[in-house]
């Protein structure tokens, strides 16, 4: 249904597994709904053995889930590497799987696709169950007969899913039983050339006993597999919680030896021949009792032994002791140089096998294993790279053979460096067996000067030894040069100052005879350097102040002129007929009109 990527959650600065639905399926609403249901199904399961879903959404037609990133191996990879597992290892894995499924069943959900690929063994040993994409509520219909679509992996489908297209919690129990069978035997319960052949076997055949393939499997686990994988759902435990209780009960019935009993050594391991000494000595015929005591000088035909002529052995106890001592020394020498520590054995061929298989092969050849580990770019972790002495060489029993086991590719995590000083960051990079790469500087509004803003590669990225790690060091806050906006339109000033990430207060206003209305009369600060978020105050012009022109008609010239000048006007006198009376007869600006200060008003005096 989807592709899965490793992605960075930039908000929380963590790696996640990003599951993006295929483009052709994202156009199918039924698949989109099933995809979204995975997020809702898993979101209600708060359990340590369930892979968590963090988010779900859609971006430009791409439907996605953001999930917990689990570093480790799937159970399929573990079984391909290790082969059949011991009962203890199999039950150690099955227990948390059933806990996860039990939590789902208790929450009213069924998984419907339990298989080794959906069981992940994290690097620290934690077992996680993934991919609840087919999960459905137990209470809702789960039949697929109408759609004709059978969901799940055919190798682990229950008979009722194949035959009737229905499933419930017992279908998960059936798949868990097949999971246990496969861990114990290293092979699927049913195989075939086509999915139809496999599905037919689910319906018409019982799951074989694991001990029929690996005879060391205890009978209690045979019964557990048979109970979980019963063809009739009524014969199975009701849910994973009930199967978990039965599994733990079966485990308690097993001894330590039965739990740790491994399967047969993998093909290719060379076992040394074993020589078995009889505990019974065969006495030659002449030494056996015949009912009569031999006489001196008597001799039996074909005998390798004869009695000394001086009389019976019981008369010479020292001779009996000498013969017994010789026999004991002969037997001891034979034991020492054959099956004892003086014997020799050939070093088996173990290169390429897993560490556990190699140890078992050496133990079978009566050799001790000492394991050293080494990185290797091509050989998977856990496989033997070399052994010393090499395969085929004959050495004494009990000798030590050094196994060099691969640690996988040599990778190191980039340490968390953000917020540390440059010196601290460089030391941590060196301590992590990496190299300090390019060091650059950049302004930062949040990180103090001299501290690391970011790294490339990012923290927790797994890289090769000596990989350069680039550092970006903070230069502190970036200074912003403030321009002088005096006399400029206020809307232009506000837009420019805001774009420079500064705050603006343009609420103050003032009259101005020189600055047009709506332009900046003054600003504070007038200029200089500021930092993002700091305040710039602008005083906006209201234009010149207007004054009401008084009525001066019939007043004398001198007081009328004084009145206008006191109001800030400029006065011009025109005299008619010589202005002999000195009385104002006309004024150029009508009384009651508002005019700016400085306006010239002409008075006509008669």
CA quadruple 484, 490, 493, 498: dihedral positive or negative? positive
CA gap 351, 439 in Å, rounded: 45
Spatial CA neighbour of 360 closest among 596, 86, 131, 98: 86
387 and 351 in contact (C-beta within 8 Å)?
A: yes
Distance CA 500, CA 532 (A): 7
Residue 496 CB-density burial (10 A; 0-12 exposed, 13-18 middle, 19+ buried): middle
What sign has the CA pseudo-torsion 392, 397, 400, 404? Answer: positive
- By the 8 A CB rule, do 535 and 502 touch? yes
Taking the CA atoms of residue 551, residue 554, residue 558 and residue 563 in that order, the dihedral angle to the nearest 10 degrees is -10
Tokens of 318: 């020292």
Count Cα neighbours of 303 within 13 Å in the Cβ-side half-sphere: 13
Residue 237 CB partners (closer than 8 Å, separation 6+): 170, 173, 227, 228, 243, 246
Q: Count Cβ atoms within 10 A of the Cβ of residue 583 and give its class: 0-12 exposed, 13-18 middle, 19 or more buried.
A: middle
Residue in the structure block whose two tokens are 């052709």:
24
DSSP-assigned letters across all residues of 405-462: EE--S--EEPP--TTSBHHHHHHHHHHTT-EEEEEEEE--SSSPTTBEEEEESPTT-E
* C-alpha distances in Å from residue 400, one per residue of 270, 345, 351, 368: 16, 12, 16, 5
Neighbours of 52 (CB within 10 A): 17
Q: Which residues pair with 400 in a beta bridge?
A: 368
Q: Which residues contact 131 (CB under 8 A, 6 or more apart)?
A: 38, 51, 113, 118
Burial 429-464 (b: 16+ CB within 10 A, else e): beebebebeeeeeeebeebeeebbbbbebbbebebe
Q: What angle do CA 271, 79, 89 make, to 5 degrees?
A: 85
Structure tokens at 259: 């739990």
Do residues 391 and 359 lie in contact, with contact meaning Cβ atoms separated by under 8 Å? no
Q: In whole angstroms, how far apart are CA 541 and each of 77, 449, 497?
A: 77, 41, 18
- Strand 368-374 and strand 14-21: the pairing is unpaired
Q: What are 524's two structure tokens?
A: 């504070």
Evaluate whether 101 touches 111 at the Cβ level (below 8 Å): yes
Catalytic residues: 113
CA–CA distances in Å: residue 556 to residues 153, 561, 602:
113, 9, 14
């Amino acid at each position: 249904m989807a592709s899965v990527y490793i992605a960075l959650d930039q908000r929380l600065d963590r790696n996640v597994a990003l599951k993006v639905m295929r483009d052709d399926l994202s156009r199918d609403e039924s698949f989109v709904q099933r995809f979204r249901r995975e997020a809702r199904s898993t979101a209600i399961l708060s359990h340590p053995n369930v892979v968590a879903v963090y988010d779900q959404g859609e971006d430009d037609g791409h439907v996605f889930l953001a999930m917990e990133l689990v570093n480790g191996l799937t159970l399929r990879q573990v079984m391909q590497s290790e082969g059949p597992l011991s009962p203890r290892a199999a039950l150690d894995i099955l227990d948390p799987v059933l806990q996860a499924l039990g939590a789902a069943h208790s929450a009213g959900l069924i998984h419907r696709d339990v298989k080794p690929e959906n069981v992940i063994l994290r690097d620290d040993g934690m077992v996680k169950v993934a991919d609840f994409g087919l999960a459905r509520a137990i209470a809702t219909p789960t039949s697929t007969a109408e759609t004709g679509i059978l969901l799940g992996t055919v190798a682990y489908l229950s008979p009722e899913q194949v035959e009737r297209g229905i499933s419930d919690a017992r279908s998960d129990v059936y798949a868990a039983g097949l999971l246990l069978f496969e861990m114990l035997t290293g092979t699927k319960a049913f195989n075939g050339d086509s999915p139809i052949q496999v599905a037919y076997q689910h319906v018409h055949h019982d799951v074989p006993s694991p001990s029929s393939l690996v005879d060391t499997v205890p009978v209690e686990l045979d019964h557990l597999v048979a109970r979980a994988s019963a063809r009739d759902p009524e014969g199975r435990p009701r849910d994973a919680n009930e199967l978990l209780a039965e599994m733990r009960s079966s485990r308690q019935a097993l001894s330590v030896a039965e739990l740790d009993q491994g399967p047969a050594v993998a093909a290719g391991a060379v076992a040394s021949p074993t020589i078995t000494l009889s505990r019974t000595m065969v006495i030659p015929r002449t030494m056996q009792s015949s009912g009569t005591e031999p006489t001196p000088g008597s001799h039996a035909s074909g005998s390798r032994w004869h009695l000394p002529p001086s009389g019976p052995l019981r008369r010479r106890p020292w001779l009996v002791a000498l013969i017994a001592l010789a026999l004991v020394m002969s037997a001891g020498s034979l034991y020492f140089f054959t099956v004892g520590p003086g014997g020799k054995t050939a070093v088996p061929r173990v290169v390429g096998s897993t560490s556990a298989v190699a140890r078992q092969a050496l133990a079978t050849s009566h050799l001790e294993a000492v394991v050293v580990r080494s990185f290797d770019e091509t050989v998977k972790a856990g496989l033997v790279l070399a052994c010393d002495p090499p395969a085929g060489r004959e050495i004494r029993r009990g000798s030590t053979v050094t196994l060099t086991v691969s640690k996988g590719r040599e990778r190191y995590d980039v340490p968390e460096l953000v917020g540390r000083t440059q010196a601290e960051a460089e030391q941590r990079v060196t301590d992590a067996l990496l190299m300090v790469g390019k060091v650059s500087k950049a302004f930062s509004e949040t990180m103090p000067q001299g501290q690391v803003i970011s790294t490339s590669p990012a923290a927790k990225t797994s890289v090769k030894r000596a990989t350069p790690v680039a550092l970006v060091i903070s230069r502190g806050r970036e200074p912003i040069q403030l321009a002088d906006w005096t006399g400029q339109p206020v809307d232009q000033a506000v837009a420019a100052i805001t774009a420079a990430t500064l705050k603006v207060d343009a609420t103050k206003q003032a009259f101005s005879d020189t600055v047009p209305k709506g332009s900046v009369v003054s600003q504070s600060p007038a200029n200089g350097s500021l930092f993002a978020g700091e305040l710039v105050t602008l005083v906006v012009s209201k234009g010149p102040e207007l004054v009401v022109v008084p009525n001066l008609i019939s007043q004398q010239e001198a007081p009328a002129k004084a009145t206008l000048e006191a109001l800030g006007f400029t006065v011009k006198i025109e005299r008619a007929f010589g202005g002999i009376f000195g009385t104002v007869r006309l004024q150029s600006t009508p009384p009651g009109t508002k005019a700016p200060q400085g306006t010239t008003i002409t008075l006509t005096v008669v």
